[in-house]
Amino acid sequence: MTLLTALEIAGNYPENIQINGFLDENNNKWGAWMYMLRNGNIHKAMLDFKGYFETKEEAEQYLHDISKECVEKYKNKI
């Protein structure tokens, strides 16, 4: 992840971030996408990873945890 992405996440999480899990049919495990929203619509893709977790909830929580780390580390710097 770039510093710019971390700063964008820190400035937009949780209100303007959407996280969606998806099933990777190649290995039957769950991955997730993170999107930045503008006016309630997807503005751009931020982060993603392919199937790694056993459940959708675990995959989505992983990106929530990353987002929370970005907020903790960078929120006061933006």
Contact assessment for residue 31 and residue 51, using Cβ atoms and an 8 Å cutoff:
yes
User: Please, which pLDDT band fits residue 76 given cuts at 50, 70 and 90?
Assistant: confident
Residues 39-74: tens digit of each pLDDT: 999 999 999 999 999 999 999 999 999 999 999 999
Of 65, 72, 23, 24, residue with least CA distance to 47: 65
- Describe the strand order of the beta sheet including 41-53 as a list of residue ranges: 17-24, 29-38, 41-53
pTM of full prediction above 0.85: yes
Q: Which domain holds residue 28?
A: 3-77
Into how many domains does the chain fold? Answer: 1
* Alpha-carbon span 78 to 73, nearest angstrom: 10
